[in-house]
Every structure is written in C-alpha cells, then in structure tokens.
A and B are shown apart, each in its own frame.
Chain A
Amino acid sequence: MNTYTEKIRELASNLLREGKVDLVIGFKEGTVPMATAPGIARTPEEAEGFVWDVNCSLNLTNYLTNKKEKIGIIAKGCDSRSIVNHIIENKISRDQLHIIGVPCTGMVDKNKIRGLFEDEITEFKEEGDAILVKTAAKELTIEKQDYLRGNCQTCMHRNPVIHDDLVAEPVVEQELEDPFKDVKAIEAMDADEKWNHFENLLSGCIRCYACRNACPLCYCPTCFVDESNPQWVGKGQDPTDIRTFHFLRAYHCAGRCTDCGACEDACPMDIKVRDFTRKLVKDSFEIYGWEAGLTLDQRPPLDTFKPEDPDEFIK
C-alpha cells in the first residue's frame, strides 16, 4: 500500500498548505514493528510523517468528538461510517471535515501473527498481498488474506461511504455467503452454553476499558461504569461486574456499531468483544434493515418511531 502512503502525504500536505484544514489526523509510524500510532499534522512538513499499511486498524473518528477546528481525516470504509454516525449524532459537522477516503482491503489481526512466533517481531514488511515477518529466531512470509481481522473478513463496505478525496480507485466489495455465521453459531447454543461461552470469553478481562476508549461511539462525558451515585457496576474483577460492563457497553452501540473492530484491536487480553456487538449489528439489520453509518439523511431506527416498527415483544 505504499502508493497509498504517498498519496495520503500529498493530499494531506496540500490541504494544510492551502489552508483548507487546520490539522489532519492520520497514522504515523509506531515505535515497534507491526504498529502504527494515530498522529496529527498541523504543517505540510508534519504531514510527510503519515504512513499507511495493514496495521492502521484503529478508528480515527474517535478523535473527532466535539472538535471545533477544520479537520482533515483519513478514513477507511468502516471509519467513514463512524464519521457519518458522528455527523448524525451532532458530534461534528460535515462542513468541518475534509475526508480523505482510503479504499481498504482489510487490516491484519496482530495477535494472530504474533501467535506464529515465540519471540518478538523485529521486522514487518508488506509486499503486495504478502507480508514478510521477521523475528530474531525465524522469518516467515504470510498471505495477508489469511490473517485478516475477523471484522475485515466479513466487511461489506470496504470503500468509504463519504469522502472528499480518494487515495485510490475503489476496491471490489467482498461477496459473502453469510456475513453473520459467527453470530448464528452462538445463537444456536442453549441458554447455559451461551452463558458459559461468554463466561470463558470474558474470563481474561482486566477491566482496562481499552475497548471503550478505542470505540468512536463511546463519547459520553461520564460513562455509566464511572458513575458512583448510583453505582451501576462495581469496579472490581467480579464476573458479574465484568459481564454487566460488557453487556451495557455493547448495548449502547445498538444500531450504531459499524463493526470497525477497534475494540478488539485495543484489547490487550485478546478478548473477542465483538461477539456482543455483532449480535446487535445482525439484529438491527434483520429487524430494521439498517446498517449503521451508510447515509446522512436517515435517522437511525432507534431514535425514530415508525408505525410499522416490530412490536411482537410487547404484550
């Protein structure tokens, strides 16, 4: 994706030079291999530090909440949907934004790659669809396609839905037999199995709230887990508290989640937190025919009332 990097640098520095935006939010080289860090450029020179590779998996929309400046932002398909969400929820206005769209072919699952090696990765290089990974002990070439993140494998909107510039021609969208296979697998379990599934899933949770912080949807000034009067959730490692936190965090994303995968990426314990949100993505699609963040001129199903809304659950 090196042509992407060049194009992003060019577009970003032009925007800054012409004074169209005050700053550009993008990705900069991280301090270790196989990592990029979100970065801000306020001058054309700083924009030369932007990079683009298969590790740019965080969702930059997170940094847009309530900003006052004119902002240029780099957005993948899922990020652009989150931006739409932000605009719909009045967290930023469309006029403030200059969106540099990146047609995306998926980001890699870093934990999966790390799992291949016993020691630390010292070099990570992309060559077309192949990736060269080196550690002190060995060297491997892997196919990017085999190591995509779960949400990239089931992604239906790889191209940005809104953008002012595109760094490349739109890529071909994936055609999937059944995007909700993973959800259906859990749905097929009985109540106790489901309970145990999530019990195991969450057993590693250390309550660091990285999933919440990485999520572009979680912008409440005071999160319900931090409220102390009344205290909805205890602070400790009690399984019930952990479960409550994950349940409500997911529930707050109902009809808004774009399945960008930032929560899973941010998780230091490699917990598949998307198992919760995926269910909601599936439900809003099946019940309301809604996919979050695709259009600016429609309100989300959960903040409008329509007479034809389903009401079978009400007695």
Chain B
Amino acid sequence: MGNLLEHMGIEKDRLHFSWISSAEATKFVDVVTKVSEAVNALGPNHKLVKNAG
C-alpha cells in the first residue's frame, strides 16, 4: 500500500506501520514521537484531500 501511494505521489513518510505489544508503553511513546516527527517534517498534506462543498 505504501509503495503504491508513493508511486502516486504521496510521500512515503505519511504512512506508518508498527507492531507494539500492550505492555510496551515506552515503545509506544517512542513510535508516536517518530511518526509525529516524520509527518511534521513533511508539513501539511494537500494531496488527495477532498474539499468540502
């Protein structure tokens, strides 16, 4: 899915997958931070957004 989105022109770093056990709160915090940083680095997304109205 990520590959095709990228192929279409949506940056790969906008879509993340991860695997965290329910006991891994630290990993959770870690991944959230990374995901957030990656997406923030790209800035807001305008592609594929359906405008209201």
Closest to A183 in B: B7
Q: Within the assembled complex, what's the spacing in Å between the Cα atoms of A133 and B21?
A: 66
Closest to A279 in B: B7
In the complex, are the beta carbons of A315 and B9 less than 8 A apart? no
Chain B contact-residue range equals 20 to 34
In the complex, are the beta carbons of B19 and A314 less than 8 A apart? yes
In the complex, are the beta carbons of A195 and B34 less than 8 A apart? no
The answer to the question of A197 belonging to the interface, with a C-beta cut-off of 8 Å to chain B, is yes
* Residues A247 and B4 in contact in the complex (CB < 8 Å), given A234-B50, A240-B48: yes
List residues of chain B with CB within 8 A of the CB of A238.
50
The answer to the question of A22 belonging to the interface, with a C-beta cut-off of 8 Å to chain B, is no
A-B contact count (CB 8 A): 58
Q: Within the assembled complex, what's the spacing in Å between the Cα atoms of A283 and B51?
A: 32
List residues of chain B with CB within 8 A of the CB of A250.
4
Min CB gap B40→A, angstroms: 16
In the complex, are the beta carbons of A197 and B9 less than 8 A apart? yes
The answer to the question of A192 belonging to the interface, with a C-beta cut-off of 8 Å to chain B, is yes
Q: Which A residues lie at the B interface, using CB under 8 A?
A: 186-187, 189, 191-198, 234, 238, 240-241, 243-244, 247, 250-251, 254, 276, 279-280, 283, 313-315
In the A-B complex, the 6 residue pairs with the smallest Cβ-Cβ separation, listed nearest first, are: A195-B9, A194-B9, A315-B18, A240-B50, A279-B7, A314-B17
27 pairs, A vs B, C-beta closer than 8 Å: A186-B7, A191-B6, A191-B9, A193-B9, A194-B7, A194-B9, A195-B8, A195-B9, A195-B10, A195-B47, A196-B9, A197-B9, A234-B50, A238-B50, A243-B8, A244-B48, A250-B4, A251-B1, A276-B4, A276-B7, A279-B3, A283-B3, A313-B2, A314-B19, A315-B17, A315-B18, A315-B34
Q: Which B residues lie at the A interface, using CB under 8 A?
A: 1-11, 16-19, 31, 34, 47-51
Since A244-B48, A313-B17, A314-B19 are in contact, a sample of 19 more A-B pairs with Cβ atoms closer than 8 Å, ordered by chain A residue number, is A191-B6, A192-B9, A194-B7, A234-B50, A240-B48, A243-B8, A247-B4, A247-B5, A250-B4, A251-B1, A254-B4, A276-B4, A276-B8, A279-B3, A280-B4, A283-B4, A313-B2, A315-B18, A315-B19
